[in-house]
Amino acid sequence: MPYIKTRDGTDLYVKDWGNGRPIILIHGWPLSADSWDAQALALAESGFRAIAYDRRGFGRSGQPWSGYDYDTLSDDLADVMKETGAGNDAVIVGFSMGGGEVARYMSRHDGKGVVGAGLISSVVPYMLKTDDNPHGVPEDQLHAIGEGIKKDRYGFFAGFFKDFYGIGLVSHPVGAEQLQWAQNVAMQAGLRGVLQCADAFGHTDFRGDLAAFRVPTLVVHGTGDKTVPIDATGREAARGIAGSQLVEYDGAPHGLTVSESDRFTNDLLTFLGAKGATRVTEHEASLIEN
């Protein structure tokens, strides 16, 4: 069943690997479910059922004109869970923009069927810099994303993914092939969805959704993230979610699922209680008590 149909008729491409407890993997902007392949394979090989899907407007999914707000996107997540039969004892894990679907699902759908959650390099709880969110991203920088894409989408993504993966004059956490792959996948997405989702993840305030997290929650974020600053997101999410576990990767970039793939995969398996996974050290993890 490579496709499921949402309640508004949009076709979503779904990858469904393995058997066991379902782990729903929600990709970041502007990629696709394929960005989760390394973790999905490890999950399936460790006795879990890994389900990853292309968000509407991205990858191989349909490209409707509307529905790029987080209420609709969380409804899409609910539809994926229902149509794949993964609506019980599921763990939902969102990377970057995908963290927003996790948060909104927990509040809008009351966390139905979810027993654990993960926020990885996530935009939750709030990206925009405001008086009460001083570590966020200034409005002019968020506005520049849309303007840059409209002017030269190819050139914009070429520069964007260098910061995304932490590429600098000396630092090269990933190779040129990875950068080219990311640019190719980004160009599969429809322009409407790319622009609308950039506006959604930059301006949606999830602070009110945090109280809806009533399950064990893993928060992973790199301290060197130039795309989604940790002070406004990962650290604030951990403070606002009771009993959450924050794991900071010192100096890691936004795309840590690739640049720190082995470490992150092990941390995810550890959180899920997989046999053979190495336990996270006290130095790496801090339990946030509220």
> Rounded distance, CA 6 to CA 185, Å?
23
Mode of pairing for the β-strands spanning 245-249 and 285-287: antiparallel
109: left (phi over 0), alpha (psi -120 to 50) or beta: alpha
Q: Give burial (CB, 10 Å; 0-12/13-18/19+) of 20.
A: middle
Give the angle subtended at the CA of 125 by the CAs of 51 and 107, to the nearest 5°.
60
> Rounded distance, CA 5 to CA 285, Å?
39
Q: Which residues contact 8 (CB under 8 A, 6 or more apart)?
A: 64, 67, 72
Q: Which positions are annotated as active-site residues?
A: 96, 225, 254
Nearest to 99 by CA among 55, 162, 67: 55
